[in-house]
Amino acid sequence: MLIAYINGKFVPLDKAKVSVLDRGFLYGDGVFETMRAHNGVVFGLEKHVARLFKSLKTFRINLKVTPPKIKKIVYELLNKNKLSVTHEKDAYIKIIVTRGTSRGLLMPSGSVRATIAIYALPQKQIPRSVYEKGMRLGVSKSVYNEKSPTSGHKTLNYLQYIMHRYDAKRKNLDEVILLNINGFVSEASSSNIFLIKEKRIITPCLKSGCLPGIIRAEVIRLSKRFLKKKVKEIFVKKQALLKADEVFLTNSTVGIMPVVEINGRTIGNGKPGPITKKLKELLKSER
């Protein structure tokens, strides 16, 4: 039986409920973080929690639980669900915080107590064949608003990304690339994106509207430290992606995922490139 944490209590996962008046349910009024644990160790937990609290501050959600307490709860959950270091299993972890329960008004009246829920699920490792094959991507025809106050945050307003994924599936694609209002590449529907051209590593700058990803930051660090290459964070045009020698995606679930095709155009020689492979090896050694 899997255990979850909700509002101060550890309960069976199927008993972890929130009210229909919870603002996360009513309006998507909340934020979240997803992480992955390998052999009981959560990669970048402190950075994920710091990003969570930065978003909470931005959206004025007053959570009484402290960052150290959240980190302690995460590891307690891994232990309770037999996903700790002694069990040698990978886990998918999600932290969700909403503004709390109110009476359905757009602006809550009086003080509202934030809701926090955390769960951890066993997760199988992504098959090696998926990384060796690489992903096929398309470019969305809809525009991503980098000026939105939710831009750069992991909020519960996720419907646009879900629709992008449905669109990708309908076209037999793995992911969708989002362009911002000015036509520059922002990110994929659930990942940051990097390209390599003539051995230069490039990624959209944060002003493009992309999430300040934990793995994104790690790739930038690893590139500088081990490859002696400084990643260029700039405004990226769609054509630059299509003409790249290598492209890859990053997020906390997949790590580094090679891209071999965009809009039907083959990237490089249609196989994961050497710099992508090297960065993947470096990231694996760090996780």
Instruction: Identify the pLDDT of residue 15.
Output: 96
CA 94 – CA 33 distance, rounded (Å): 6
What's the chain's average pLDDT? 95
Range(s) within the chain of domains with CATH label 3.30.470.10: 3-122
Is the domain covering 3-122 a CATH 3.90.870.10 domain?
no
For residue 124, what pLDDT is reported? 87
Q: List all residues 6 or more positions away from 143 whose beta carbon is below 8 Å from its beta carbon.
A: 179, 180, 181
Q: Tens of pLDDT along 37-56? A: 998 999 999 999 999 999 99
What local confidence, expressed as pLDDT, does residue 105 receive? 82
Average pLDDT, integer, range 256-265: 98
Instruction: State residue 203's pLDDT score.
Output: 98
* Residue-wise pLDDT tens digits, 86-115: 666 899 999 999 999 988 788 887 788 999
Instruction: Give percent of the chain above pLDDT 70.
Output: 99
The model's confidence at residue 233, banded by pLDDT at 50, 70 and 90, is very high
φ/ψ of 75, rounded to 5, equals: -75, -30
Length of the chain: 287
Long-range contacts of the stretch 261-266 (C-beta < 8 A, 24+):
261/134, 261/135, 261/136, 261/137, 262/136, 262/137, 262/138, 262/139, 262/177, 263/137, 263/138, 263/139
How far CA 281 is from CA of 38, 125, 226, 255, 284, in Å, comes to: 15, 15, 11, 10, 5
For residue 234, name the pLDDT band (cuts at 50, 70, 90).
very high
Instruction: Label the pairing between strands 265-266 and 232-234.
Output: unpaired
- What is the value of pTM for the model shown? 0.95
For the segment 127-148, the average pLDDT, to the nearest whole number, is 94
User: What average pLDDT does the segment 121-137 reach?
Assistant: 93
Mean pLDDT of all residues in 251-280:
97
Angle between helices 45-58 and 214-226 (to 10 degrees): 130
286: its two tokens: 């760090």
What mean pLDDT is predicted for residues 1-24? 96
In angstroms, the CA 201 to CA 273 distance is 12
* Topology of domain 128-286, CATH: D-amino Acid Aminotransferase; Chain A, domain 2 (3.20.10)
Each residue of 183-225: pLDDT tens digit?
A: 999 999 999 999 999 999 999 999 999 999 999 999 999 999 9
Report pLDDT for 87: 66
pLDDT at 84: 84
153-192 tens-digit pLDDT: 999 999 999 999 999 999 999 999 999 999 999 999 999 9
199: three-class secondary structure by DSSP: coil
Q: What is the mean pLDDT of residues 254-271?
A: 97
Residues of the chain with CATH 3.20.10.10: 128-286
CA angle 125–247–235, rounded 5-degree value: 125
- The confidence score (pLDDT) of residue 110 equals 74
User: How far lies 37's CA from each of 97, 118, 243, 248, 265, in Å?
Assistant: 20, 14, 35, 22, 35
